[in-house]
Amino acid sequence: MIDLKNVYKIYETGDVEVHALDGISLHIDKGEFVAIVGQSGSGKSTCMNIIGCLDVPTDGEYILDGIDVSTMDDDELSYIRNNELGFIFQQYNLIQKLSVINNVELPLIYKRYPKEARRKIAMEALERVGLKGMENRFPQQLSGGQQQRVSIARALAGEPSVILADEPTGALDSKTGIEVLALIKKLNEEGNTIILVTHDNEIAEQAKRVVRLQDGKIVEDRPGRGQ
């Protein structure tokens, strides 16, 4: 499913080269629930950007679902993100002026689905995250937990191969955080491949597999307690 082979990401700032990712190789199978954990500056965000096709590696190969995406251009990456990936962000990243249903429909609009199909899929996704009946509200009218559920529904609506969750509980109180995490686990049990990026070891342990990054390198790769 996901195959990173000796991936480097090098930033040049003046004369200094920063190796954000320093030769990472990682294989993730379909249906896995992997936590990528590490301190700030460990390279986990860079790793997530590359897995999420928001950025391309400086060197190395990235095969996603059989497609080599490491040398793609901007529009090709957009296409891959649209069709293969679902994002759950720490700050939910909903578009405030769009209603809940319109936010969830967004990936389908870019897939050029017709209106009726969009509505149907989006409604199903909202039902799966327990927000049935909220479709015409606006993000500001919802609690943080509810907004995060909307963003999960949006990720689901695109029927992605991989769901990427970047500190999904980071902006939530602990109780709501646990609920959202439970929802993510449930999605994994339903067969979705999930990659969770966090700095929090406790949360990372909820995954079935924990990959620890430090200084741009993988320093640990072991089963989590969620196994």
Partner 1 sequence: MDIGQSFILAVKSLMASKMRALLTMLGIIIGVSAVILISGMGEGLTAKVEETFTSMGSNIVTAMALRQTETKYVDLDKLAEFASETEGMKYYAPYTQTSATAKFGTEDASTTVYGTNEDYASIRDRGIASGRNIQYLDVEREQRVCVVGSHVIEELFGDDVTNDELIGEQLKINGTTFKIVGIMEEKASGMAGGDDDMILIPYTVAQKVFNIQYVNMFYFTYENGDYADTIIDKVDRFFYNIYDNADYYFIMDAQSMMEEMYDMLDTITSILVAIAAVSLLVGGVGIMNIMLVSVTERTKEIGIRKAIGANKFDVLSQFVIEAITTSVIGGTIGIMLGIFFTNIASVILGIEGKVTFGAVAIAVGVSSLIGILFGYMPAKKAADMHPIDALRHE
Q: Is 67 in the site for partner 1 (CB under 8 A)?
A: no
Q: Which of helix, strand or coil describes residue 95?
A: coil
How near is the Cβ of 214 to partner 1 at its closest, in Å? 22
- Which of 83, 161, 176, 214 touches partner 1 by CB under 8 A? 83
Q: Is residue 14 classed exposed, middle or buried when 0-12, 13-18 and 19+ CB atoms within 10 A define those classes? A: exposed
Q: Which of helix, strand or coil describes residue 106?
A: helix
**Count of beta carbons in the 10 Å neighbourhood of residue 214:** 15
Q: For tokens 């920063």, name the residue.
A: 18
How near is the Cβ of 74 to partner 1 at its closest, in Å? 6
| Residues in 112-171 that interact with partner 1 by CB under 8 A | 112, 154, 158
Q: Which is nearer to partner 1, 106 or 204 (CB)?
A: 106
How near is the Cβ of 39 to partner 1 at its closest, in Å? 19
Q: Is the dihedral of CA 28, 1, 50, 190 positive or negative?
A: negative
How near is the Cβ of 222 to partner 1 at its closest, in Å? 29
Q: Is 87 in the site for partner 1 (CB under 8 A)?
A: yes
How near is the Cβ of 88 to partner 1 at its closest, in Å? 11
Strand locations in 43-192 (E): 59-64, 67-68, 85-88, 162-166
DSSP 193: E
Q: Which is nearer to partner 1, 65 or 205 (CB)?
A: 65
CA distances from residue 174 to 44, 90, 132, 145, 178 in whole angstroms, order as listed: 23, 14, 24, 10, 6
Q: Is 44 in the site for partner 1 (CB under 8 A)?
A: no
Binding residues for partner 1 (CB under 8 A): 49, 52, 54-55, 74-75, 78-79, 81-83, 87, 89, 93-95, 97, 106-107, 109-112, 154, 158
